[in-house]
Structure 1
């Protein structure tokens, strides 16, 4: 009916996607309960509109559309904004409990700012939701926005062709159900516990990393930018004339590795799986790309679609126990161990897919994310528009072969890290599911579900040493 089309439809949209039956069914459920639009209880703005001035010496995080995920922030690819630009933009300076929503790219990802993120600012590709009414708690609102009842609205209100965007006036229209303060507090506790577990997972990873650092005892200290090479020892040998390739620090690193009791070139001790496989058009697959990897070696999400719709770079199949390593300069630290959840998934050809009978998967992860291997991989990168390390350069890197005792210690910490990460992920999913139950059934059913799942998660805690 025309009268229904006009409801909250300021742009008079009549495209079929806007009226998908799925969207209408979820909207009907929301309209049966007590709801408020975000504009009713929060101030909404966006980030800095001018070009960002980055500063490596700054400690002020710059959040972008890639930063918020499912109620957590991933700052692995983030840079810092200059102090002066931060001061000059008071409107966009982030505060504790600000809700950040991505408005371009992967639209509708949401997380809440806490003390660990601050000081921080953000660019124009995110929306800032600042609650001004105590009836709504930030982590409850963020959980609603990450649930199907929030996602369908952010997807529905997204417009544009070349670069789809979720504009601020549409964020203000998003409907958030009001559920009791007790329920909101319970959801908040679940989300904060999940974030706490994630921090514990990161600490376990750091302990594994420290074991490797102590074992190798290799420091990157040579900052000399001058090196003299004969033709036979440079272009005549490897075809490289770029000065960066011959930085003395790279030579020092390689010499230090050569001093290690056991070592070998990657091609001789690691199996590289680089066969291209074309996905079947009518079959659904999980697809992993660079943006799906966090900074402690987890695949945090993925695309799931029919083979016909996957990009042409989706040509590598991965299996449980494989390790994937980015070959793209600027993202070389995007490495992950493939778990059972992603067995049989496709990944981008921008990854090397490796496994070894000499190393555990967890050891390979920490080794290739280490500063030593990251530098040697960076040395091998070449190209102009998109610089990357080739298969040939990758395979000739010499790496240390760690003894079994060291590998067992590293593996133990990484497995603990992954258990904690999985518990964190489960808590966030339970929180999302519970708000959906509260909307579709009632608050009591949602609270009962939370209690049951909380007991299951407590049992999982016993698995962590």
Structure 2
């Protein structure tokens, strides 16, 4: 299956299901392959950066979505690729798009490195940088030591690896989450109030520790009007940490500005009580670290959808490190998100530039690129 081995410059495009048209550009020669739900495009006479941006633009996406087939699970078959029209661009414009994508990728890599450095610094501070969870499958406990304390009878809960990581944390400065933050819940309005255009309704699938994505659910004007006071109260403010308790449990994301949306009941809102002793950006990283993720893995139950009870979340053990180290971690995290934002901005500039080149001309698009990149630098 050598033809499915990826190479630098390959453009990957999703061809099955709801995410048909999603794209990725392979930027390294690392050994990898991909599933049959992705098509591999190997450009011949067009730069891969320009091809990927064009296919991501409105002109590319409209053509891709036009040729979707099927009813239940739609698909975009390989035979239809020869119907996708690709404009011919001048070399100056092509080089400019290549430069934008390369710079965007560089920012993306720097962002990932900064975030990784922040994670490593936390683990070093709490002595877990070289921690390897025990694989011992047996742990002997008396009834008093197990159910008598936790109320849990499932054997998985008592795995030694969970005890080890919690023991490492409680042997140094720490606290439980409920002492550190105020915890509030949102609501579940029900699918009857979902509309295509209205107030954004953010669910667990709409965010990760790295950011928010565009939600696919919105709430009707009638519901918003009927629950006006409650809606205003539930809109998350700057400094709120979103924290998931259902589905992908334990995902934390820090809001850097007030938001015009409400979240589902599966997402808790955490607000740090004392920011002089606990920096919110540090807490967010700690919640996403293996320290808390292993506690989530231990506690969460459910056969189909994982559920983490609020009473258990309140008792999460959180390491509290020196405030100067917290600041250092927070700075790395903030720089990571700043670089990520710049990376995304350059991708958007490239996409809009391609659209301008088609709608107007390439000179106009090149001038616009210059203006936008200067703004980004400022």
TM-score, scaled to structure 2: 0.86
Distance 2:71 2:272 in 1: 44
| 8 A Cα contact 2:186 2:268, kept in partner | no
Distance 2:13 2:203 in 1: 21
| 8 A Cα contact 1:368 1:374, kept in partner | yes
The residue that corresponds to 2:175 in the other structure is 264
The residue that corresponds to 1:124 in the other structure is 36
Alignment of 1:319 with 2:237, yes or no, is yes
Instruction: After superposition, give the CA deviation of every residue in 1:299-347 in whole Å (9 maximum; x if it has no partner).
Output: 25212554259xxxxx975333222233356x4464322233x712234
| 1:229-240 to 2 correspondences below 5 Å | 229-240=141-152
Matching residue within 306, 311, 323 for 1:392 = 311
Matching residue within 77, 83, 93 for 1:167 = 77
Larger deviation: 240-249 or 320-329? 320-329
| 1:361-400 to 2 correspondences below 5 Å | 361-400=280-319
Alignment of 1:110 with 2:23, yes or no, is yes
The residue that corresponds to 1:12 in the other structure is none
Distance 1:106 1:286 in 2: 20
Query: How far is the alpha carbon of 1:281 from its aligned partner?
Result: 5.8
The residue that corresponds to 2:260 in the other structure is 344
Q: 1:159 to 1:322 in 2, by over 3 A?
A: farther
Alignment of 1:178 with 2:88, yes or no, is yes
Q: Is the partner of 2:27 in helix, strand or coil?
A: coil
Distance 1:336 1:181 in 2: 41
Matching residue within 231, 237, 252 for 1:335 = 252
Distance 1:407 1:385 in 2: 37
Query: How far is the alpha carbon of 1:162 from its aligned partner?
Result: 2.2
Distance 1:305 1:389 in 2: 23
Distance 2:22 2:246 in 1: 25
The residue that corresponds to 1:285 in the other structure is 199
The residue that corresponds to 2:228 in the other structure is none
Matching residue within 264, 272, 276 for 1:356 = 272
Distance 2:4 2:264 in 1: 35
> Which structure 1 residue ranges, 5 or more long, are not aligned?
1-88, 310-314, 460-465
| 8 A Cα contact 2:186 2:262, kept in partner | no
- How many residues are treated as equivalent by the alignment? 358
Q: 1:348 to 1:168 in 2, by over 3 A?
A: farther
| 8 A Cα contact 2:292 2:317, kept in partner | no
Distance 2:218 2:293 in 1: 34
Q: Is the partner of 2:329 in helix, strand or coil?
A: helix
Instruction: After superposition, give the CA deviation of every residue in 1:162-217 in whole Å (9 maximum; x if it has no partner).
Output: 22222223333222211112211110110111011011011111221122112111
| 1:402-441 to 2 correspondences below 5 Å | 402-441=321-360
Q: 1:376 to 1:138 in 2, by over 3 A?
A: same
Q: 1:388 to 1:220 in 2, by over 3 A?
A: farther
After superposing on structure 2, the runs of 4+ consecutive aligned residues of structure 1 that deviate more than 6 Å are none
| 8 A Cα contact 1:98 1:129, kept in partner | yes
Alignment of 1:156 with 2:72, yes or no, is no
Instruction: After superposition, give the CA deviation of every residue in 1:2-21 in whole Å (9 maximum; x if it has no partner).
Output: xxxxxxxxxxxxxxxxxxxx
TM-score, scaled to structure 1: 0.71
Query: How far is the alpha carbon of 1:414 from its aligned partner?
Result: 0.9
Query: How far is the alpha carbon of 1:452 from its aligned partner?
Result: 0.8
Distance 2:210 2:201 in 1: 14
Distance 1:275 1:286 in 2: 14
Q: 1:153 to 1:349 in 2, by over 3 A?
A: farther
Q: 1:146 to 1:286 in 2, by over 3 A?
A: farther
| 8 A Cα contact 1:378 1:389, kept in partner | no
Q: Is the partner of 2:137 in helix, strand or coil?
A: coil
Q: 1:214 to 1:422 in 2, by over 3 A?
A: same
Q: 1:244 to 1:405 in 2, by over 3 A?
A: same
> Which structure 2 residue ranges, 5 or more long, are not aligned?
222-230
Q: 1:250 to 1:305 in 2, by over 3 A?
A: closer
